[in-house]
Amino acid sequence: MDREKVKELLQQVKEQEISVEEAFQSLRGFPYEDLEFAKVDHHRALHKGFPEVIYCPGKTTPQIVEIASRLIQNGADVLATRADYSVFEEFVKEFPEAEYHEMAGAITCFQSQRKREQKGKVVVMAAGTADLNVAEEAALTAELMGSQVVKAYDVGVAGIHRLFDHWEDIKSARAIVAVAGMEGALPSVVGGIAGCPVIAVPTSVGYGASFDGLAPLLTMLNTCASGVAVVNIDNGFGGGYVAALINLGASLEG
């Protein structure tokens, strides 16, 4: 349940449209609901501005569906990350309005079909086509949180002239997510010319000496460009989330 729904509920009590007991029943799941295998945080949208997100790996499909069901029952929209299509096939049986985002590997379910007003500007960059699944996860997350997102893909340093075609977007962005594998140089280049924070996301793309993303992670941590922050390997969700907070002034309205 987000802030607007709580305000609406309190207004209904004030106007005597519902009883105090009915309002209590709507709020009784706060701050979390214990399902034994998971404690679902129904309070998160109130203090974070965005509902709890379901990370699918390590969970069974019935567990994912049950968590989503409890979130939806409490008025939250759902984002499930790193979801296989087989999970979505079961998910959509329970929630026909759900959508599968193949490149991002994510499931979304907006029961109200409402769209957050997209504000500001987050630019999501991917060094190569092999980085797109992580970049798409970042872009989807930022969009769902209410950011206007511009994408610039396949702009890595192997053909750096392609990056400069996006000069205006770089200069007008409030936050940039730079996704790269191999040696991970893209965030350093972007950080050297951008006037906004750059969220660097290393990916596990690359040959043996990239060590499944460790090499680009260390490159990004050792950047000499100012204003670059780094999230974990393949963590597109984390990069998109931080960029959206920066873009929206760290004050999300539910």
- Tokens encoding 228: 């670059």
Which one, of 47, 232, 234, 79, lies nearest residue 143 by Cα?
A: 79
Average pLDDT over residues 25-35: 64
Q: What is the pLDDT of residues 48-74, one digit of tens each?
A: 667 788 999 999 999 999 999 888 887
Give residue 251's pLDDT. Answer: 53
> Which CA distances in Å does 52 have to 40, 85, 179, 223, 226?
8, 21, 24, 32, 32
Average pLDDT over residues 135-150: 94
| Dihedral over alpha carbons 130, 87, 71, 243 (to 10 degrees) | 0
Using CA atoms, how far apart are residues 106 and 99, in angstroms rounded to an integer? 8
Using CA atoms, how far apart are residues 66 and 218, in angstroms rounded to an integer? 38
Q: What are the structural domains, with CATH classification, of the chain?
A: 3-109 (no CATH), 119-247 (3.40.50.1970)
Listed in sequence order, the DSSP H helices in the chain are 3-14, 20-27, 44-48, 61-73, 85-94, 132-144, 167-172, 186-193, 214-221, 236-247
Task: Evaluate if residue 212 carries a pLDDT over 70.
Answer: yes
Query: Cβ(94)–Cβ(69) under 8 Å?
Result: yes
Q: What is the pLDDT of residues 150-189, one digit of tens each?
A: 999 999 998 889 999 999 999 999 999 999 999 999 999 9
Q: What is the pLDDT of residues 108-133, one digit of tens each?
A: 988 654 566 788 999 999 999 999 99
Quickly tell me which residue has 């780094």 as its tokens: 230
Task: Evaluate if residue 203 carries a pLDDT over 90.
Answer: yes
